Amino acid sequence: MLTVRVGKAKMGRRQNKRQTVLICTSMLVLVVVLITVVLQKYSDSFTADWRRSLSEGFSISRQTSKPTSKPSAGSCVTEKNCPGDHFSFLIRSGAANVVPPKICIQNNLVLGGVINNAGYGINVVILNGKTGEVIKTGHFDMYSGKVKPLIELLKSIEKGSIVLMASYDEPSSKLTEDARKLIAELGSSVVQSLGFRDNWVFVGGKGATVKSNFEKYLKNDNMKNKYENWPELIELTGCIPKYLD
């Protein structure tokens, strides 16, 4: 009788252990299933955000060779509907040291990479203020070039001419006080402050008696730059009144 009782007690304890193991296993399986469902629900958005973050970080580190948003090089269409006695224009600065600037007059590209007449430094287009005819275009390297050709061009501009300028890469290192003064006389308010790798676009005129309203400037700031060592490109559109005697 004693032996039988002992056997039943052992069997009861074994059954309790098995039940405990089964309960624990069931709970573990349930936890795994719940975790799997949660991960499946949120993994797609998390993965997308993670990849986006990595992609943005990578693109920032490569901005010196490839800006993230490359603008259309040849498009000159603007939404400006100018009166008959005005010329429409569009100016876009360069993007880092990769995408050249462009200058458009009456929806026609007159300076840009597509027609191979844009370059590093300060890009210039001179118009006849009465007819809108392009008199001259040029670009002047203000980092490794010389400022004298730019000064000579600025001094040669005739009264009544319209002058459009756009920066690309580095517009200021060789820019002397004489050159800055000549540009200021065209109506620029910013040229005296133009610094290393700043972005700048400007429209002025020879014989202007007031400061130009057509000017934009973006300072090179490593904390804010879009293209690592360069600020983002800037664009300016508007209507230039014809020059009247």
Query: What does the pLDDT read at residue 126?
Result: 98
* DSSP secondary structure code for residue 149 in this structure: H
Where does a domain end: 44, 61, 78?
61
9 and 129 in a single domain? The answer is no
Output the DSSP codes for 154-189: HHHPPTTEEEEEEEES--STT--HHHHHHHHTTT-S
Separate counts of helices (H) and strands (E) for the chain:
3, 9
pLDDT digits (tens, 9 = 90+) for 210-241: 789 999 999 999 999 998 899 999 999 999 99
51 and 90 in a single domain? The answer is no
Strand 108-111 to strand 121-128: parallel, antiparallel, or no bridges (unpaired)? unpaired
Measured distance CA(101)–CA(91) in Å, rounded: 8
123 and 40 in a single domain? The answer is no
41 and 95 in a single domain? The answer is no
Tokens of 127: 């118009």
213 and 92 in a single domain? The answer is yes
128 and 227 in a single domain? The answer is yes
100 and 145 in a single domain? The answer is yes
96 and 207 in a single domain? The answer is yes
Q: Give the residue-averaged pLDDT of 65-85.
A: 67
CA angle 44, 45, 49 (to 5 degrees): 120
Measured distance CA(104)–CA(152) in Å, rounded: 24
Query: What does the pLDDT read at residue 241?
Result: 92
144 and 48 in a single domain? The answer is no
Domain assignment present for 92: yes
Residue 57 has pLDDT above 50, yes or no: no
43 and 122 in a single domain? The answer is no
Query: What does the pLDDT read at residue 45?
Result: 41
Domain assignment present for 186: yes
Does the pTM of the predicted model rise above 0.75?
no
Domain assignment present for 66: no
Residue 140, domain extent: 86-241
Taking Cα atoms as reference points, which of 78, 81, 45 lies closest to residue 92? 78
pLDDT digits (tens, 9 = 90+) for 154-198: 999 999 999 999 999 999 999 999 999 999 999 999 999 999 999
* Amino acid identity, position 69: S
Measured distance CA(51)–CA(43) in Å, rounded: 12
96 and 10 in a single domain? The answer is no
For the CA atoms of 54, 59, 60, 64, the dihedral, rounded to the nearest 10 degrees, stands at 160
* Secondary structure of residue 240 in the 3-state scheme: strand
CA angle 223, 229, 232 (to 5 degrees): 80
